[in-house]
């Protein structure tokens, strides 16, 4: 098998292929893109949170010199958009959140466009609003949507999207428990904060075909969404081409098609000019959708030996005013809820609720960080109730290779034990337990995540085409999206390895739906896994064709030939060799010659969850553990992270340099979610729409991350690899919360863990009133 | 009065990456807009427009500034260096840029030009910085991808490997116009 052979490029810390362009300032982002005759789009947002639109007066805006189009909901056909088709590009009838788009302008420059937006007058009649998802569920709460997408009446704000998982018998498990702990946790709105804000450029050709210059993570699903939108505009059957620019950060913020994109399409269609729409940072905070907030009720029990008996989770997700794909994050939250540690009886119910808050979406981890915060916090609480050390408690319940979990995940490899033990060892867990230092605490958090794709759509496929030129240079045409994680480099490494050329011989072509074959999107930590497997399969086909061509030329049976380092050679006599470029030129410069291409559509052998939400969602599972040592200042409530150990079961590290980049970045993003990040909403209105008030961590806060890579080579993955993009941010918040509890005895249940909450907890602990 | 009738423009002359330039700018325009929109130097990025993220960092007379907040007319006569001006003469990356590549300090890359320019200013001032100095020197540049670890490594490595970082904008032989 290939993986047993000595690997030349896979496993090496090869720098990112696009890094030089980026570090030279030459990469072209959406903000850098200009087209002749291009207009600039701007959006008029609602200044009411829930109100009827009585009238919109755009007459002054239309008269402003330089304005080429002003559109309101009345000017366009009714075309529902969004995951549940509950949204409109420009709102009609009423607004349901502050960011609601009520009008849009295209003008010759962005200043004029913004000035025109300010001239648009909207008259509203305010309606009662609801901001608390639990209040929104009460009878008599104001209805956010009176009807559903099909026009049927809505009786409540509860989304018609129930999530119910039942494995085993939770009530019996509870009855049989020696120790039971119950608690409530909450997580809040977290903004993706991509440094490159949102934007797009829409242009039509004279036949009505759309080209969308885009930063989406899902080009082919976007193609479908935009195509449906065009049909609504009377342009049924027209082509939609998505051209990706360099993307200034993803983190799940681009898994949906967004309202601004549809507005750009409308303006481009109306003006017959290219229209670029670029968000300001303020807009990025106000009109992008943040991570979905959760309220979690969780109970967990164990027997007298500390073995888990049941886990029962009830969750409310604040959907906000409209529905994104984020409403499906419970499908991934089920992964840790059912399958982190061996727990025989599991129940999970999630309810997504409409409110007048900002609508929310998925973010790195796809709900897993929210769910794992509750699970790993209560696991420490249960260990304490059972009188067992939290490390020992975890090891008692650790997942095993080969097990089938209650949700019917078929675990292949599992390095969770090695991860936990590695973290504990590096932290100095045993010594700390013997001699704890004042105000210092240790905390652990484990994780399970999809590591071999995730069948959240009917397909989890990835298309790839390879071709090789006269000189032995291989072009790999992929449907995958590079969002900075290093997908291109991984594809080049795998292709060079399996075809037998050098990484610098590989050109990766991506980002054009007219050229590149279909892919479901860059999500679920799947890109390296699926594209790596596609490259292995396509590369094998390409190599076979090359060897079949070389056989007659070299008078050697192709079965006895191999290709390595650009040289075709006989496996019996490596001296008998022919350079690859010579072979290929003969293929082309021969009467009735041939060109060498290969393609592969890799769809992993995983399963869509069935009606009971069971099935093998991923074909391998990524595990990991994070351990931290913190010091809590009992005077100020400040938390300092002194040690940060991140162990990851990655199957195999395809590129340790890039892999560590994912681990470091996820660690700090997870720490931000744990300690500082919260989009503050007051009656639906964002209070902190800038980087001074919304605190992402800086170089001063960079963590002393020590990564541990556990590599139980997994048969399913390319050279054994599993996904690693999201896992690092999954167990951070509970590890920190557990360490704070260990340090000062204060359990924080609501993220972020601010100094104020710690001080309030300390005061309460000392018997003071709050 | 519409927007188009209000425009008043001034002549601005300065030197960018060693080349003298003359542009017509409005009084309220910021240096970033002049670089990106008038001169086509799109390496500097607008991440926030409020001086909070550092993606627009360039050097003005060797000093790093947030060009999104720097009034263009104040650059009159100045020597401005942008990321496009860092490459060494034969078109290769500078040692600092190469260190970013080699240490995995680049992911999505949007913050990278500003980050490199801040590091350039730091190394010009402090050729062999400590880790603490690097962190402080980069504190005004936000990055959402990397967690900063590999960026800090890259800057430390560049600081160790180079004895003389000529101050951009203050190269000998290049005089203010």
Q: Which domains does chain A have, with CATH numbers?
A: 2-27+461-602 (3.30.365.10), 33-127+198-278 (3.90.1170.50), 294-399+414-455+609-765 (3.30.365.10)
| Model pLDDT, residue A590 | 85
Alpha-helical runs (H) found in A555-605: 580-588
CB contact under 8 A, A248 and B87: no
Tell me what pLDDT residue B163 has.
57
Give strand pairing partners of B126.
none
A23: nearest CB among B49, B53, B101: B101
Q: A13 contacts in B (CB within 8 Å)? A: 104
How is residue A42 written in tokens? Answer: 């701007």
Nearest residue on chain A to B142, judged by CA atoms?
A698
| pLDDT(B169) > 80 | no
Are A661 and B150 inside 8 Å of each other by CB?
Answer: yes
**CB spacing of A705 vs B147 below 8 angstroms:** yes
A557 pLDDT higher than 60: yes
pLDDT (average), residues A294-323: 98
High-pLDDT (> 70) share of chain A, %? 99
Q: Which residues pair with A601 in a beta bridge?
A: A463
Which residue among A15, A661, A690 places its CB closest to the CB of B102?
A: A15
Do residues A692 and B54 make contact, with C-beta atoms less than 8 angstroms apart?
no
Say yes or no for a CB contact (<8 Å) between A661 and B107: yes
- The pLDDT tens digits of the residues spanning A615-655 come to 999 999 999 999 999 999 999 999 999 999 999 999 999 99
What is the CA A439 to chain-centroid distance, rounded?
A: 35
A425: CB partners within 8 A, 6+ apart: none
Shortest distance, CA B140 to any CA of chain A (angstroms): 8
Q: For A524-538, what is the mean pLDDT? A: 96
Specify the pLDDT at position A269: 98
Mark which residues 48-67 of A lie under 8 Å from B by CB.
64-66
pLDDT band at A2 (very low <50, low <70, confident <90, very high): very low
Indicate if the pLDDT at residue B4 is higher than 70.
no
Nearest by CB: A66 against B4, B83, B149: B4
Residues 190-209 of A with CB under 8 A from B: 192-197
> Which string of DSSP letters, residue by residue, matches B23-37?
EEE-TT-BHHHIIII
- A19 chain-B contacts, CB cut-off 8 A: 100-101, 104, 106, 109
pLDDT in tens, A39-59: 999 999 999 999 999 999 999
Q: Report the residue of chain A nearest B116, measured CA to CA.
A: A23
Q: Mind listing the pLDDT tens digit for each residue in A258-296?
A: 999 999 999 999 999 999 999 999 999 999 999 999 999
pLDDT tens-digit series, residues A686-707: 999 999 999 999 999 999 999 9
Is A755 in the B-facing interface, judged by CB distances under 8 Å?
A: no
Of all residues in chain A, the one with the smallest CA distance to B35 is A32
Confidence of residue A5 (pLDDT cuts 50, 70, 90): low
Contacts of A193 in chain B (CB under 8 A): 142, 144
E strand residue ranges, A513-609: 561-564, 567-570, 577-579, 597-602
Task: List the single best residue of A32, A195, A363 to mutate versus B (max B Cβ within 10 A).
Answer: A195
Nearest CA in chain A to B108: A484
Pairs across A and B, CB distance < 8 A = 188
Report the pLDDT value the prediction gives residue A769, as an integer from 0 to 100. Answer: 61
Which residues lie across from A121 on neighbouring strands?
A57
Average pLDDT in the A697-720 region? 97
Best of B145, B151, B168 to mutate (most A CBs within 10 Å, chain A) = B145
pLDDT score recorded for residue A624: 98
- Provide the pLDDT confidence category of residue B39 given band limits of 50, 70 and 90: very high
Both tokens of residue A449? 């995540």
Please give, rounded to a whole number of angstroms, the shortest distance from the CA of A12 to a CA of chain B. 12
Q: Give A331-388 pLDDT, tens digit per residue.
A: 999 999 999 999 999 999 999 999 999 999 999 999 999 999 999 999 999 999 999 9
Query: Closest Cα partner for A452 from A524, A369, A401?
Result: A524
Mean pLDDT estimate for chain A: 96
- Region of poorest pLDDT, from A72-76, A591-595, B65-69, B104-108: A591-595
Between chains, do A194 and B104 touch, taking CB under 8 Å as contact?
no
Rounded to a whole number of angstroms, the distance from the CA of B177 to the nearest CA of chain A is: 26
Nearest Cα to Cα of residue A498 among A548, A547, A537: A537
SS (H, E, C) A503-524: HHHEEEECCECCCCCCECCCCC
C-alpha A730/C-alpha A750 separation (Å) is 16
* Percentage with pLDDT > 90 across chain B: 83
Quick check: B109 and A250 CB within 8 A?
Answer: no
How does strand B79-81 pair with strand B10-16? parallel
Q: Which of B49, B101, B108 sits opposite A484 (nearest CB)?
A: B108
Contact check, Cβ <8 Å, B147/A484: no
Cβ-Cβ contacts under 8 Å, A484 against chain B: 106-109, 145
Give the chain A residue nearest B28 (alpha carbons).
A111
Nearest to A181 by CA among A339, A315, A308: A308
Residues contacting A708, CB < 8 A, separation 6+ = A419, A422, A423, A426, A645, A646, A647, A648
**pLDDT at residue A189 greater than cutoff 50:** yes
Secondary element (H or E) of residue A181: strand A179-187
pLDDT in tens, A484-498: 999 999 999 999 999
B19 Cβ partners below 8 Å, 6+ apart? none
Question: Given pLDDT bands bounded at 50, 70 and 90, which one contains residue A1?
Answer: very low
Does A112 lie at the interface with B, CB-CB under 8 angstroms? yes
Q: Looking at beta carbons, which residues of chain A come within 8 Å of B103?
A: 657
User: Which residue from A194, A250, A665 is facing B147, i.e. has the nearest CB?
Assistant: A665
Sheet hosting strand A567-570, strand order edge to edge: A561-564, A567-570, A577-579
Q: Please give the mean pLDDT across all residues of chain B.
A: 90
Residues with Cβ within 8 Å of residue A194, at least 6 apart in sequence: A248, A249, A250, A251, A253, A284, B108, B110, B144
Which of residues 222 through 251 in chain A touch B, CB cutoff 8 A?
Answer: 246-251
pLDDT above 90: residue B177: no
| CB nearest to B106's CB, from A19, A26, A280 | A19
Whether residues A702 and B87 touch (CB distance < 8 A) is answered with no
Q: Are A62 and A96 in contact (CB under 8 A)?
A: no
CA distance A662 to chain B (A): 7
- CA atoms of A118 and A58, how far apart (whole Å): 10
Q: For an interface test with A, which of B149, B151, B168 has the most A Cβ atoms less than 10 Å from its Cβ? A: B149
> Could you give the percent of chain A with pLDDT greater than 90?
96
A27 touches chain B (CB under 8 A): yes
Cross-chain CB nearest to B145 (options A32, A112, A249): A249
Contact B100 A19 (CB under 8 A): yes
Of A247, A281, A667, the CB nearest to B108: A247
- For A669, residues 6+ apart whose C-beta sits below 8 A from its C-beta are A251, A364, A728, A729, B144, B147
First to last CA, chain B: 38
**Residue A31's closest CA among A226, A192, A245?**
A245
Residues A499/A543, Cβ–Cβ less than 8 Å? yes
Top pLDDT among A462 and B4 is at: A462
A698:B50 CB<8 A: no
Strands of A705-710's sheet in order across: A440-450, A621-632, A639-649, A705-710
Tell me the three state secondary structure of residue A739. Answer: helix
pLDDT digits (tens, 9 = 90+) for B121-149: 999 999 999 999 999 999 999 999 999 99
Shortest CA distance from B133: residue in chain A: A700
> Helix count (H) and strand count (E) of chain A?
19, 28
Residues of chain A contacting B95 with CB distance shorter than 8 Å: none
Say how far apart CA A214 and CA A245 lie, in whole Å: 6
Inter-chain contact B109–A692, Cβ cutoff 8 Å? no
pLDDT digit string, tens, across residues A134-179: 999 999 999 999 999 888 999 999 999 999 999 999 999 999 999 9
Using the beta-carbon criterion (under 8 Å), do B146 and A20 form an inter-chain contact? no
Interface of A with B in 672-711 (CB under 8 A): 690-692, 696, 698-700, 702-703, 705
The neighbour count for residue A7, using CB atoms within 10 Å, is 15
Complete domains list, chain B, with CATH: 3-85 (3.10.20.30), 95-161 (1.10.150.120)
Chain-chain contact of A66 with B84 (C-beta, under 8 angstroms): no
* Residue from B29, B112, B147, B158 whose CB has the most chain A CBs within 10 Å, to mutate: B147
Sign of the four-CA dihedral A339, A343, A349, A355: negative
* Full strand arrangement of the beta sheet holding B57-60: B19-25, B10-16, B79-81, B57-60, B63-66
Which of A646, A702, A726 to mutate against chain B (most B CBs within 10 Å)? A702
**Which candidate, A565, A538, A530, places its Cα nearest to that of A476?**
A538
**Per residue in A173-186, pLDDT tens?**
999 999 999 999 99
pLDDT band at B173 (very low <50, low <70, confident <90, very high): very low
């Amino acid at each position: 098998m290939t993986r047993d052979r000595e690997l030349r490029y896979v496993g090496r810390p090869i720098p990112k292929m696009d890094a030089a362009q980026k570090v030279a300032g030459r990469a072209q982002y959406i903000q850098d893109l200009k087209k002749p005759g291009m207009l600039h789009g701007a959006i008029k947002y609602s200044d009411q949170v829930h109100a009827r639109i009585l009238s919109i007066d755009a007459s002054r805006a239309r008269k402003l010199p330089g304005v080429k189009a002003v559109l309101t909901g009345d000017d366009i056909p009714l075309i529902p958009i969004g995951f549940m088709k509950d949204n409109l590009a420009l709102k009609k009838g009423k607004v349901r959140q502050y960011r609601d788009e009520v009008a849009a302008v295209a003008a010759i420059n962005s200043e004029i466009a913004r000035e025109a937006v300010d001239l648009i007058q909207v008259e509203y009649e305010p309606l009662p609003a609801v901001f608390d998802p639990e209040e929104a569920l009460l009878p008599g709460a104001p209805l956010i949507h009176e009807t559903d997408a099909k026009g049927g009446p809505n009786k409540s704000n509860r989304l018609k999207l129930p999530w119910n998982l039942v494995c085993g018998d939770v009530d019996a498990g509870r009855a049989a428990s020696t120790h039971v702990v119950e608690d409530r946790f909450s997580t809040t709105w977290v903004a993706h904060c991509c440094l490159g804000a949102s934007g797009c450029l829409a242009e039509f050709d004279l036949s009505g075909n759309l080209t969308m210059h885009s930063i989406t993570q899902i080009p082919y699903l976007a193609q479908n969404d935009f195509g449906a939108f065009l049909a609504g505009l009377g342009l049924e059957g027209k082509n939609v081409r998505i051209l990706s620019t360099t993307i200034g950060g993803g983190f799940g913020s681009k898994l949906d098609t967004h309202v601004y994109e549809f507005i750009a399409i409308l303006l481009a269609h109306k003006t017959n000019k290219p229209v670029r729409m670029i968000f300001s940072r303020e807009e990025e905070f106000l009109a992008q959708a943040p991570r979905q907030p959760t309220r979690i009720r969780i109970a967990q029990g164990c027997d007298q030996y500390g073995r888990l008996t049941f886990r029962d989770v009830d969750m409310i997700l604040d959907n906000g005013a409209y529905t994104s794909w984020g409403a499906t994050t419970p499908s991934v939250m089920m992964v840790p809820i059912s399958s982190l540690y061996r727990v025989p009886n599991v129940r999970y119910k999630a309810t997504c609720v409409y409110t007048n808050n900002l609508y929310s979406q998925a973010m790195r981890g796809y709900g897993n960080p929210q769910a794992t915060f509750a699970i790993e916090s209560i696991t420490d609480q249960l260990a304490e109730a059972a009188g067992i050390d939290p490390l020992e408690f975890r090891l008692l319940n650790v997942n095993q290779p080969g097990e089938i979990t209650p949700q019917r995940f078929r675990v292949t490899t599992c390095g969770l034990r090695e991860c936990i033990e590695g973290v504990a060892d590096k932290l100095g867990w045993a010594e700390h337990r013997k001699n704890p230092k004042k105000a210092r605490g240790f905390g652990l958090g484990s994780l399970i995540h999809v590591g071999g794709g995730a069948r959240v759509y009917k397909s989890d496929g990835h298309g790839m085409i390879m071709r090789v030129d006269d000189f032995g240079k291989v072009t790999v045409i992929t449907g995958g999206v590079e969002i900075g994680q290093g997908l291109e480099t991984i594809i080049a490494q795998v292709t060079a390895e399996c075809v037998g050329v050098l990484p610098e011989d590989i050109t990766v072509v991506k980002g054009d739906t007219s050229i590149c074959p279909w892919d479901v999107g860059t999500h679920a930590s799947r890109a390296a896994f699926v594209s790596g497997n596609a490259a292995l399969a396509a590369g094998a086909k390409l190599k076979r064709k090359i060897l079949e061509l070389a056989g007659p030329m070299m008078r050697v049976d192709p079965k006895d030939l191999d290709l390595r380092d650009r040289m075709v050679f006989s496996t019996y006599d490596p001296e008998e060799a022919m350079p690859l470029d010579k072979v290929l030129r003969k293929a082309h410069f021969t009467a009735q010659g041939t060109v060498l291409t290969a393609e592969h559509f890799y769809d992993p052998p995983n399963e869509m969850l069935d009606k009971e939400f069971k099935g093998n969602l991923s074909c391998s599972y990524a595990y990991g553990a994070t351990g931290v040592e913190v010091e809590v200042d009992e005077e100020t409530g400040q938390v300092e992270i002194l040690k940060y150990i991140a162990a990851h079961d990655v199957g195999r590290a395809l590129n340790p340099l890039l892999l560590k980049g994912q681990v470091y970045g996820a660690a700090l993003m997870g720490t931000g979610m744990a300690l500082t990040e919260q989009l503050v909403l007051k009656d639906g209105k964002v209070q902190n729409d800038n980087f001074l008030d919304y605190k992402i961590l800086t170089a001063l806060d960079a963590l002393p991350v020590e990564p541990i890579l556990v590599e139980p080579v997994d048969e399913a993955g390319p050279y054994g690899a599993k996904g690693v993009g999201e896992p690092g941010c999954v167990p951070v918040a509970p590890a920190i919360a557990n360490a704070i509890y260990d340090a000062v005895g204060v359990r924080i249940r609501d993220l972020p863990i601010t100094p104020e909450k710690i001080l309030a907890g300390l005061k309460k602990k000392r018997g003071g009133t709050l | 009065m519409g927007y188009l009738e209000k425009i008043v423009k001034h002549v601005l002359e300065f030197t960018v990456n060693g080349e003298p330039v003359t542009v017509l700018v409005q009084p309220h325009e910021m240096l970033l807009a002049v670089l990106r929109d008038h001169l086509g130097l799109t390496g500097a990025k607008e991440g926030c427009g409020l001086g909070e993220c550092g993606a627009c960092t360039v050097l003005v007379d060797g000093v790093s500034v947030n060009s999104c907040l720097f009034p263009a007319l104040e650059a009159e006569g100045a020597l401005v260096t942008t990321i496009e001006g860092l490459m060494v003469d034969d078109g290769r990356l500078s040692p600092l840029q190469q260190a970013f590549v080699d240490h995995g300090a680049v992911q999505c890359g949007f913050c990278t030009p500003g980050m490199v320019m801040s590091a350039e200013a730091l190394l010009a001032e402090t050729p062999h910085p400590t880790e603490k100095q690097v962190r402080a020197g980069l504190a005004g540049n936000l990055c959402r991808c990397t967690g900063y670890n590999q960026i800090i490594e890259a800057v430390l490595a560049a600081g160790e490997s180079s004895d003389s970082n000529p101050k951009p904008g203050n190269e000998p032989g290049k005089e203010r116009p």
